Amino acid sequence: MAEGTHVPIRKYLVVWLWLFILSALAYFIDVVHVPAPWKAILLVVVALMKAGMIMAVFMHLGYERLSLIYAVVAPLLFLVVMTIAFLPEGTAILGSHSIVAP
């Protein structure tokens, strides 16, 4: 962000309102009886939307060079891709072990 550039407070308030709405949506998704796989997918999508808004506005990445944005966003995308890639193997390993309740 360039020196002396100020973001209007109205933008922060609008983003705060959207974050509040997305948090309420996440709570609604959790309370309503949604099948577990869909619930997980929807909650991750809402969380990524919130993270993107926070990074763009509150971390001022919306005003930075593209290379800095890539340096911050690329590890997040890598984490999401690796989680999706290894999820089937993890569930298979979890299913193969017998878990005994104490």
What predicted TM-score, i.e. pTM, was given to this entire model?
Answer: 0.64
Q: How far is CA 26 from CA 39, 42, 57, 76, in A?
A: 9, 8, 21, 20
- Cβ(90)–Cβ(82) below 8 Å: no
Tokens of 41: 């997918």
Instruction: Give the model's pLDDT for residue 5.
Output: 65
Asked whether the predicted pLDDT for residue 17 surpasses 90, the reply is: yes
Instruction: Give the model's pLDDT for residue 102.
Output: 60
